[in-house]
Structure 1
């Protein structure tokens, strides 16, 4: 691709010496993109927008936050009450975490539906899962910083999980705490790492975009770009589409910030942390609930392995298994649009994750959705079983046995056919 010629002499002078403008021109302006991308492809750019918003609001919050157990809670209250527009900055940051996870979860489910993890995009998929892991670590440490009741006890419960590992468990927990209990050293460590991790995420996002531009975007048909007619420039077609999606997303985001800022949080976190009073029901933030349900669902011992260790291993395995999906899926067809059997299993998996989230939010002895005789813990165990069965059994078997629909010869053919049907 030839270098663009700039009419502006200043731009040309800078670009001749540091071709940043040419790089942006090639990667964000004339970058050839499949012409059939739907609005489901907006969530990657929306996640990037939220990440930048989180970094900026976090920087402003840090200017007024005090990472000390005796002052952290009061400093957050001061931000809310005395700092100019502090309440707005904090509510954007607090709800921004949920918005970030919503965008990334939809982005991941879209990738699962359209087979965006298949060759040659395995590395792109891996970096995306690393971003998810970094997000989870950052969100967990950030939830501890207000030093409310749920912050303190959430940190105590989650960090104690590592004690399940034999030999290294207890020293690891002591190292995480910076002592022998969750206290000021713990808060300082979490604060430092919470401030650092978003920049690690930003670096991973740069790698993610780099990998994306190397292997090109997937599309709803799963068919690769074969001719110039299959693609269109990213600008103005998808910049406009992304801006429209951003406008709709901001309405949703602002609805929470201005009308229901505490809806996605827990009321106990507005009580100062008290090590002597345990909340009746300790729950993590909503985006951790499916994994929390998997952790709690293991309440039995296998081959002498304690239930606690099995639960921790199952929780970590629920993330690690995502790395090997490209090899578990044996189908030669990417998109579920052309896989009539697997499509139903995919939606069953989506429902299963929502059920896990519900089970994670409820006490184990509660009845599932009020159904007599069906305990939450039992439903959590069944949902956990299907979670792993979906990847380890359904994906390999359906991929080999399923009779898929015929693929279009090209992206252009599918676009013309859909236009004719419309």
Structure 2
């Protein structure tokens, strides 16, 4: 081997030749082949891989759609219709991209739920969690701008209402709105800059995903028990065990995705968006896409405009500081009998907010949204800090292997955790 060449262990001469000069195959083998992972992952751990695959699908379909889209207010709606009717398989590309946004959020919301339930945000994984929240924020910005591009009635009025929220900030609010619009109303400059940013941000998301995975491989994965691996007996190589498990989950995921695309492609959309944008006709009920509805409900729950905007942004900001709001040393809710029902009630509150966010701003929906929003914030600011002081968690197992071999689950209350006996 020449001086300075990497010592590659691959037997294939072509792969070895490349790997000696650019050790990408060694890196992939280390990070995705022999990388030690806890042996007790359940199927909730599939959703990280599903999110990455969905991001790739969204980028690919978005690139091909951009080849046929015209970012001009007089032609945007017609260019989308042309994609649907005249471009070869344009209807398929658009339906995959359109429903892929919903599938992306379903996967990411499940991923967040798993992280919160099993305490994946706790030390030493705080930065891993925070980069995930950054990805979530970038997804929201990308999805909002993408929803404007078809230039239908809901696209136009949704953009008008949401961008106008920034006018609630004193002194700088109106300047921010004018900067977002590129003028004094939602018009062609707005559509142009939203299209540019919608095209760019997925690549930014991909960059942050790289950081997210790098942080994951530094700290290692959490697991359903929330107990750190004690040695080789607690881990297995990522390949082939979890590549097979992820592949099975991916097949099920694509079956659901295909049902949505081929049988009910417009189920999660709004019919008003098939009407060309008209600044002179306001839709009777302006709503954002379903994945924004919980935050939209929090916004409407506060009678003051500025207060509603601050509460809406605060509901997401709380996720950033969650590692420091929950002071319990125990990660997994499986060992926290008091915290578990409060968390599940929080999930119910988020679902309720999503439901009332899609309803008109009238009673009883406004009152329901206020109660649900109050519990949303109370869970982070009051309940979690209080439970860290008063809760008595169940005994933790000393290693991952013993509960796995015994069938899983927490030990009975009062039972001592013993090390696994040698076979």
Shorter-chain TM-score: which interval? over 0.9
Q: Are residue 175 (structure 1) and residue 164 (structure 2) matched?
A: no
Structure 2 partner of 1:215: 219
Mapping 1:405-420, distance limit 5 Å: 405-418=394-407
Q: Are residue 27 (structure 1) and residue 27 (structure 2) matched?
A: no
Structure 2 partner of 1:290: 294
Structure 2 partner of 1:166: 170
Report if aligned partners of 1:34, 1:411 keep a CA contact under 8 Å in 2: yes
Q: Are residue 383 (structure 1) and residue 375 (structure 2) matched?
A: no
> What whole-Å deviation, never above 9, does each CA across 1:266-324 have from its counterpart, x for those lacking one?
0000000000000000000000000000000001xxxxxxx100000000000001111
> What secondary structure is seen at the aligned counterpart in 1 of 2:179?
helix
> What whole-Å deviation, never above 9, does each CA across 1:102-151 have from its counterpart, x for those lacking one?
00000001000000000000000000000000000000000000000000
Cα distance in structure 2, aligned partners of 1:210 and 1:18:
19
Structure 1 partner of 2:273: 269
Cα distance in structure 1, aligned partners of 2:7 and 2:229:
23
Cα distance in structure 1, aligned partners of 2:313 and 2:237:
40
Cα distance in structure 1, aligned partners of 2:135 and 2:250:
21
Report if aligned partners of 1:3, 1:22 keep a CA contact under 8 Å in 2: no
Change (3 A) 1:112 1:419: closer
Change (3 A) 1:17 1:356: same
Report if aligned partners of 2:224, 2:332 keep a CA contact under 8 Å in 1: yes
Change (3 A) 1:143 1:420: closer
Report if aligned partners of 2:36, 2:236 keep a CA contact under 8 Å in 1: yes
Listed as ranges, the gaps of 5+ residues in structure 2 are 1-5, 411-423
Structure 2 partner of 1:56: 60
> What whole-Å deviation, never above 9, does each CA across 1:18-62 have from its counterpart, x for those lacking one?
111100000011110000000000000000010000000000000
Report if aligned partners of 2:38, 2:400 keep a CA contact under 8 Å in 1: yes
Structure 2 partner of 1:332: 329
Change (3 A) 1:420 1:69: closer
Mapping 1:3-152, distance limit 5 Å: 5-152=9-156
With structure 2 as the length reference, what TM-score do the two structures score? 0.94
> What whole-Å deviation, never above 9, does each CA across 1:127-179 have from its counterpart, x for those lacking one?
00000000000000000000000000000000000000001000110010000
For residue 418 of structure 1, report the CA deviation from its aligned partner: 1.2
Q: Are residue 323 (structure 1) and residue 312 (structure 2) matched?
A: no
Report if aligned partners of 2:297, 2:356 keep a CA contact under 8 Å in 1: yes
With structure 1 as the length reference, what TM-score do the two structures score? 0.95
Change (3 A) 1:330 1:420: closer
For residue 210 of structure 1, report the CA deviation from its aligned partner: 0.2
> What secondary structure is seen at the aligned counterpart in 2 of 1:405?
coil
Cα distance in structure 1, aligned partners of 2:51 and 2:210:
13
Paired residue for 2:205, among 201, 207, 226? 201
Q: Are residue 404 (structure 1) and residue 393 (structure 2) matched?
A: yes
For residue 74 of structure 1, report the CA deviation from its aligned partner: 0.2
Structure 1 partner of 2:243: 239
> What secondary structure is seen at the aligned counterpart in 2 of 1:65?
coil
Cα RMSD between the aligned structures? 1.2
Cα distance in structure 1, aligned partners of 2:356 and 2:193:
31
Structure 1 residue ranges (4+ consecutive) displaced by more than 6 angstroms after TM superposition:
none
Listed as ranges, the gaps of 5+ residues in structure 1 are 300-306, 367-374
Structure 2 partner of 1:304: none
For residue 3 of structure 1, report the CA deviation from its aligned partner: 6.5
Structure 2 partner of 1:350: 347
Structure 1 partner of 2:3: none
> What whole-Å deviation, never above 9, does each CA across 1:344-375 have from its counterpart, x for those lacking one?
01100000000000110001215xxxxxxxx1
Cα distance in structure 1, aligned partners of 2:254 and 2:17:
38
Report if aligned partners of 1:221, 1:411 keep a CA contact under 8 Å in 2: yes
Structure 2 partner of 1:303: none
Report if aligned partners of 1:163, 1:172 keep a CA contact under 8 Å in 2: yes
Change (3 A) 1:420 1:285: closer
